[in-house]
Amino acid sequence: MAETAKTNAMRILEREGIAHTVHLYDPDQGIDGASVARQLGQDPQAVFKTLVTQGKSRAYYVFVIPVCATLNLKRAAAACGEKAVEMIPQKALLPTTGYVHGGCSPVGMKKAFPTFIDETAQLFDAVCVSAGRIGAQVELAPDALCRAAHAQYAALTD
C-alpha cells in the first residue's frame, strides 16, 4: 500500500517524540474494528476504537475501548463524573472532533476533550488506534497513548 500523508495525530506523536508505528490497511476490506485488526494481523483486544459522547452537562467526552467491546455507558458516566452520557450522532462527529466516522483518533481532535482509555490497554505492550484517517492506524505503547491523548485509564467495558 502507498505511503499515506501525515495526519494531525501522526504530527502530534512525532512532535512529542512518542514512538509509534503507522500501519495502513485497505478500507475496501472493511473499516469495522474486527476487519481492521484482521488486516493488520493484530489481536482485536489490542486494537482500540474511539467513541465520542456527550454528558447531561452537554460536555463532550472521548472513550477508547477495544474494537470488539461495547462501551458501558454507566461506567463511562462514572469515569467522567456525569449522571449519564450518550453517543453523539454520527453527523456531529466531524464538526465536533475534526475526524470522520471510521477515522477518529483520540489524538489531535479539534478541541481537547476529557479522554478515557479502557484499563485493559495496560495488558498490552502496544495498542493500535486510528491514525486520524480511514485506512491508517498507529501502534504505540498504552502509556504513550495516554500521554498523547491527555487521557486516563478507567474501567469502561463489561
Q: Which residues contact 158 (CB under 8 A, 6 or more apart)?
A: 69, 70, 72
Between the alpha carbon of residue 59 and those of residues 14, 16, 55, the distances in Å are: 29, 27, 5
Residue 118's closest CA among 76, 80, 86, 78? 76
> What domains are defined for the chain?
20-154 (3.90.960.10)
Q: Which residues make beta-bridge pairs with 23?
A: 137
Give pLDDT, residue 136.
Answer: 96
| The pLDDT of residue 1 | 42
pTM score of the predicted model: 0.95
**25-68 confidence digits (pLDDT tens):** 999 999 999 999 999 999 999 999 999 999 999 999 999 999 99
Can you tell me the distance from the alpha carbon of 108 to that of 77, in angstroms, rounded to the nearest whole number? 23
Q: What pLDDT does residue 5 have?
A: 84
Residues of the chain with pLDDT under 50: 1-2
